[in-house]
Every structure is written in structure tokens, then in C-alpha cells.
């Protein structure tokens, strides 16, 4: 299909057979200037210039985030059955691409893993420096293959991008982490770090309501939950500030990951003022042998503490790194030296036996 319009602004019709069975869709439509067409069995959304929806793929990703897997599976099956014939019927209205583009490729194991609940939460301990007392856990995503083999987070994210399911994966994992942490019987003062992708959240008051609800149902104190920004692409700072403000409004804390690498530079840190600053593991690993890297770590620790923030040294794997980060004044320590990720978050011991023996 070739469009000769002079603008990229388009109207996209999202067909939902039995629209009344999709209350999330109609609720969002009514609150976001989408037009509901009950007779047609669908909603119309504007995409392109002047809209926050750049195109059909972004709308589809949002729908996958908001509709549970069973209902979205039913909806995408209906789109697939109708296919190009439907597109030809609505060609003058759509001008936005093939409806088939909204159907995941199903060329990886991820859709089945999501549907069958084979995504897991693993937990890596974080300790207060000096006393080596348990401070909390970082929640980490793992997959489980049909053969029982562990699937790494990197592979899961690659599959999610391939299937256009990044948004659904991010939401389900966030809520899974909260449920698992709440059921683990952690100490009352134990903190929980949960990663999230900012680009998976379009409107926080709508997209994050299930996350807020999951935290409440888990019985966790919001002040003990830290949502950690993890992103490999540059994120719109305005959007990110809005997201972090929403989390804080609900009583949660926020963290910025890998300070010292990628986009997480000093300007971003100053702009967002996170409650927790995680010093990148490459800086930590090189600091014992490099005065420059040591000074950078020391400056980050001082910058955090002078502004009432916590500094966490991540990726601590050697005794030299442990001693140096403690000497520099890091508040928190995390790394293989103290404990590897494990599916059981309940503290079996404060630290690994070999660390206790040398403390």
C-alpha cells in the first residue's frame, strides 16, 4: 500500500471483536482522546506528527502491555484471521501499515514462556558496607526453557524486541518481582530493587497502576521499593522525569543504574536526582589498579553523600575491590564476592562463608 498524503498524521482503527470484553481498552480510549466505535467493534487513534504515537508498532506494543496475555492472544488471532482483506476494506482510513505488523512473529520461545509462566525472579543480595549487614536484594529476570535450562536476561530481551513484546515482558516481570518479594518473608527493613525500561511506559498513571497495585498486594512498604532505570537507548529526559516523579509520588524510591557508563552520565544524574546511585562495575573493577578510576569512584561517592543519596558499588568480585570501595565510603556493596543471584530471596546467610571468614 502506498500513501501519497502530504503529512504523516494518520487515523488507526484498532478492531476488537466483542469490544465489551476489553474494559482496559475502552477505559484507556475514553481517557486518552481515542474514539470508540461500538458498532464497528473498535477504537480509532491518531498516530504520526502531533501525536505521542509514532505509528502502528508503538500502539500495538502499548496494547500488549495493557491487555492480559489471554485476551491479547484472542485479539491478535482475530487480526491474523482477517489479514490483508480487512486492510483492503479500510485502506482509506488506516494509512498506517499492515495490520499483520501488530501480530508477533512467534519465531522465538518467548510468547510460550510468557503464556506458561516460565519467567522467573532471581535475587542478588546487597549489603551495607563495613558491617556487611543485609540491606536488600536486586530482582533479576531469568527464563526457563522447556528443557529446564536457564535463559539469560539478554536473550529474553532480544526475543522481546524480535516479537515486539518488550512492553509486555517489562510489565509482567515488574509485577512478578513484587509478588515474589512479598511472599519471601523478608525482614521488614529489607529493600527491593526492581529494574524497569522507561520506554515501556507511555502514561504512568495508567501504565503503572497494576505495578502500584502489585506492591500493595505484596504487603511491601513503598519506601523499601526502589525502581531502577535500566535502558540501553537514550530516553527523553522529560518523559523520564515524569515517570520518576510518579513513582516518588506513590512513596517509592528511584535509582540510576551504571553511573559512569552509557547514557547515565553526570548530567543525567544531576537532572534526575536519584535516591540511589549505582557505580558501574567497570569503574569498580578498574579502580584498584588505576588512580584515575579510583578518583572517579571517590567523586561519585562524595557527590552522592553530599546530596543525601546512597552510593552502591556494583560488581564487587575481589577482596581488593571490596576493601577499596569500603575505604572510599560506599554505602552499599553488591557482587559475586558476597552472593550470586539465586531464585530463593530468603537470606540463607548474610554473606558467602569465605567472605565471613576473612571479614
3-state DSSP call for residue 284? Answer: helix
Q: What angle do CA 125, 285, 139 make, to 5 degrees?
A: 25
Greater model confidence, 260 or 206: 206
Q: What angle do CA 71, 74, 78 make, to 5 degrees?
A: 140
Neighbours of 271 (CB within 10 A): 13
Q: Which pLDDT band holds residue 298 (cuts at 50, 70, 90)?
A: very high
What pLDDT is attached to residue 21?
76
Give the pLDDT mean for 74-92.
57
What pLDDT is attached to residue 74?
73
What are the two backbone dihedrals, phi and then psi, of residue 44, each rounded to the nearest 5 degrees? -115, 135
Residue 339 has pLDDT above 70, yes or no: yes
Give the pLDDT mean for 8-20.
69
Asked whether the beta carbons of 312 and 115 are under 8 A apart, the reply is no
Greater model confidence, 4 or 172: 172
C-alpha cell at 160: 522481546
Average pLDDT over the chain reads 79
Calculate Rg over the CA atoms of the chain: 23
Helix extents (H) in the chain: 23-31, 56-66, 69-89, 91-94, 110-115, 153-163, 166-183, 204-207, 209-218, 237-249, 266-272, 281-286, 291-306, 319-328, 353-358
3-state DSSP call for residue 306? Answer: helix
Asked whether the beta carbons of 345 and 184 are under 8 A apart, the reply is yes
Beta bridge partners of 342: 123
What pLDDT is attached to residue 340?
92
Greater model confidence, 196 or 199: 196
Distance between CA atoms of 45 and 30, rounded to whole angstroms?
Answer: 11
What pLDDT is attached to residue 356?
47
Distance between CA atoms of 10 and 47, rounded to whole angstroms?
Answer: 5
What are the two backbone dihedrals, phi and then psi, of residue 285, each rounded to the nearest 5 degrees? -70, -30
What pLDDT is attached to residue 345?
78
Amino acid at each position: 500500500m502506498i500513501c501519497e498524503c502530504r503529512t504523516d498524521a494518520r487515523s488507526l482503527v484498532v478492531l476488537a471483536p466483542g469490544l465489551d470484553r476489553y474494559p482496559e481498552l475502552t477505559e484507556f480510549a475514553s481517557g486518552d482522546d481515542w474514539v470508540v466505535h461500538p458498532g464497528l467493534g473498535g477504537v480509532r487513534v491518531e498516530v504520526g506528527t502531533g501525536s505521542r504515537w509514532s505509528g502502528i508498532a508503538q500502539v500495538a506494543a502499548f496494547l500488549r502491555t495493557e491487555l492480559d496475555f489471554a485476551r491479547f492472544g484472542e485479539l491478535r488471532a482475530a487480526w491474523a484471521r482477517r489479514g490483508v482483506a480487512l486492510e483492503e476494506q479500510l485502506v482509506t482510513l488506516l494509512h498506517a501499515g499492515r495490520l499483520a505488523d501488530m501480530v508477533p512473529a512467534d519465531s522465538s520461545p518467548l510468547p510460550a514462556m510468557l503464556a506458561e509462566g516460565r519467567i522467573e525472579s532471581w535475587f542478588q543480595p546487597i549489603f551495607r558496607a563495613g558491617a556487611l549487614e543485609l540491606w536488600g536484594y536486586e530482582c533479576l529476570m531469568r527464563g526457563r526453557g522447556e528443557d529446564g535450562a536457564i535463559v539469560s536476561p539478554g536473550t529474553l530481551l532480544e526475543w522481546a524486541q524480535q516479537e515486539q513484546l518488550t512492553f509486555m515482558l517489562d510489565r509482567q516481570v515488574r509485577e512478578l518481582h513484587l509478588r515474589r518479594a512479598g511472599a519471601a518473608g523478608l525482614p521488614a527493613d529489607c529493600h527491593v530493587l526492581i529494574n524497569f525500561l522507561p520506554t515501556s511506559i507511555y502514561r504512568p498513571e495508567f501504565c503503572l497502576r497494576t505495578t502500584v497495585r502489585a506492591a500493595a498486594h505484596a504487603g511491601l512498604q513503598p519506601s523499601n521499593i526502589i525502581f531502577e532505570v535500566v535502558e540501553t537507548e537514550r530516553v527523553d529526559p522529560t518523559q523520564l522525569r515524569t515517570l520518576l516523579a510518579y513513582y516518588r509520588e506513590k512513596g517509592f524510591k528511584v535509582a540510576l543504574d551504571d553511573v559512569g557508563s552509557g547514557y547515565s552520565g553526570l548530567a543525567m544524574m544531576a537532572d534526575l536526582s536519584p535516591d540511589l546511585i549505582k557505580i558501574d562495575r567497570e569503574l569498580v573493577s578498574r579502580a584498584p589498579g588505576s588512580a584515575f578510576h579510583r578518583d572517579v569512584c571517590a567523586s561519585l561517592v562524595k557527590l552522592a553523600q553530599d546530596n543525601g543519596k546512597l552510593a552502591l558499588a556494583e560488581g564487587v568480585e575481589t577482596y581488593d575491590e571490596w576493601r577499596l570501595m569500603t575505604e572510599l565510603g560506599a554505602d552499599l556493596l553488591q557482587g559475586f564476592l558476597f552472593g550470586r543471584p539465586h531464585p530463593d530471596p530468603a537470606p540463607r546467610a548474610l554473606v558467602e562463608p569465605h567472605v565471613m571468614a576473612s571479614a
